[in-house]
Chains A and B, each alone.
Chain A
Amino acid sequence: MTAWRAAAGAPDPESRPDPATTTHEPGRDPAEVREYWTPERLRDAGGAPMPKRD
């Protein structure tokens, strides 16, 4: 398998996408979230699929 890795780069100024950002606060107890990740769950988590480039 060969994968092409791409990093966000600087496009032409005319096509520069919106630089605005949005934040999100999960709002959960961090200890509760840490406890969710048992060794079994860590092992079972699959690699996140890479978005496909056009």
Chain B
Amino acid sequence: MANAVSLDERPAAPRPDATEKAGPTGKPGTTLSAPARSEAPAPRINESAAVGKVFFTNPSNGGTYACSASALNSDSKQMVVTAGHCVHGGSGGTWMTNWVYVPCYRSGVRPFGTFAAKQMRTFNAWINSSDLRRDVAMVTTWPLNGNKIVNVAGGHGMSWNFSRTQPVTILGYPGNLDSGEIQWACTGTTRAASDNGIELQCNFGGGSSGGPWLRER
């Protein structure tokens, strides 16, 4: 991903825990990213070591499923961002079980190991109403062999309040491409959607949910 910006070249901004101040009419802001360990295998073009595949069981039907996610740089160095429906079934559903995150997964290989969920968090609007505007989740992961995820795989920053027309690269593991065994990238410029979200046309099917949308320079 030669031209993608993981937001690390942007100036530091107030932390996003002041969510009320970071409303849609506020100034754009970012948090900083963190690189992977230098001895980690170099990611190929259009791939991020901080992006990985999520695996979980849905207790509602007993099925096992996959999503995408990315490590988020924060003080804890343990956080992962994904879609709300990758941690909870939404209205009428329940919390997913056996939840793990595998950064930089590729065809069964787990170069950084498997990180289990310690705590999952999503919006009540997703849990109670399956509101797609709140289909977002953050997961705190357990350290693996004493190592925290962002300290080994790196972590992206976060942006908010930027224009809905934004050059981005989406990364994820769409099940319709290489059976979801390889990380794929989709690059383009977003546009405003009818529900006030943003959209980008990609050939990404189930399994890509939760992957990061990284702003390009």
Which residues of A are at the interface with B, using a C-beta cutoff of 8 A?
1-13, 15, 17-26, 28, 30-31, 33-34, 36-37, 39, 41-51, 53-54
Q: Please list 7 pairs of residues, one from A and one from B, whose beta carbons are closer than 8 Å in the complex, sorted by A's number.
A: A6-B198, A8-B135, A17-B125, A17-B129, A18-B123, A20-B125, A47-B65
B121 lies within 8 A of A5 (CB): no
What is the CB-to-nearest-CB distance from B176 to chain A, in angstroms, rounded to a whole number? 6
**Cβ of B181: which chain A residues have Cβ within 8 Å of it?**
43
Known: A8-B132, A17-B133. 8 other contacts (CB 8 A): A6-B199, A8-B134, A10-B24, A11-B24, A26-B120, A30-B118, A30-B142, A45-B55
B66 located at the interface, meaning its Cβ lies under 8 Å from any Cβ of chain A in the complex: yes
**Cβ of B90: which chain A residues have Cβ within 8 Å of it?**
51
**Cβ of A12: which chain B residues have Cβ within 8 Å of it?**
196
**Cβ of B204: which chain A residues have Cβ within 8 Å of it?**
3, 5
What is the CB-to-nearest-CB distance from A10 to chain B, in angstroms, rounded to a whole number? 3
What is the CB-to-nearest-CB distance from A14 to chain B, in angstroms, rounded to a whole number? 11
A24–B117 alpha-carbon span in the complex (Å): 10
B123 lies within 8 A of A21 (CB): yes
**Cβ of B24: which chain A residues have Cβ within 8 Å of it?**
10-11, 13
A47 lies within 8 A of B199 (CB): no
Question: Nearest A residue to B190 by beta-carbon distance?
Answer: A7
A45–B101 alpha-carbon span in the complex (Å): 13
The 8 closest A-B pairs by CB, nearest first: A47-B207, A47-B175, A10-B24, A47-B206, A9-B197, A30-B116, A17-B125, A11-B196
A4 lies within 8 A of B199 (CB): yes
What is the CB-to-nearest-CB distance from A46 to chain B, in angstroms, rounded to a whole number? 6
A33–B56 alpha-carbon span in the complex (Å): 10
Q: A1, A26, A50: which contacts B209 (Cβ < 8 A)?
A: A50
**Cβ of A51: which chain B residues have Cβ within 8 Å of it?**
85, 90, 130, 132, 135
B108 lies within 8 A of A23 (CB): no
**Cβ of B207: which chain A residues have Cβ within 8 Å of it?**
46-48
What is the CB-to-nearest-CB distance from B153 to chain A, in angstroms, rounded to a whole number? 16
**Cβ of A17: which chain B residues have Cβ within 8 Å of it?**
123, 125, 129, 131, 133-134
Question: Nearest B residue to A44 by beta-carbon distance?
Answer: B64
A33 lies within 8 A of B100 (CB): yes
Question: Nearest B residue to A20 by beta-carbon distance?
Answer: B124
What is the CB-to-nearest-CB distance from A42 to chain B, in angstroms, rounded to a whole number? 6
Known contacts A17-B133, A26-B97, A33-B98, A49 near B206 by CB under 8 Å: yes
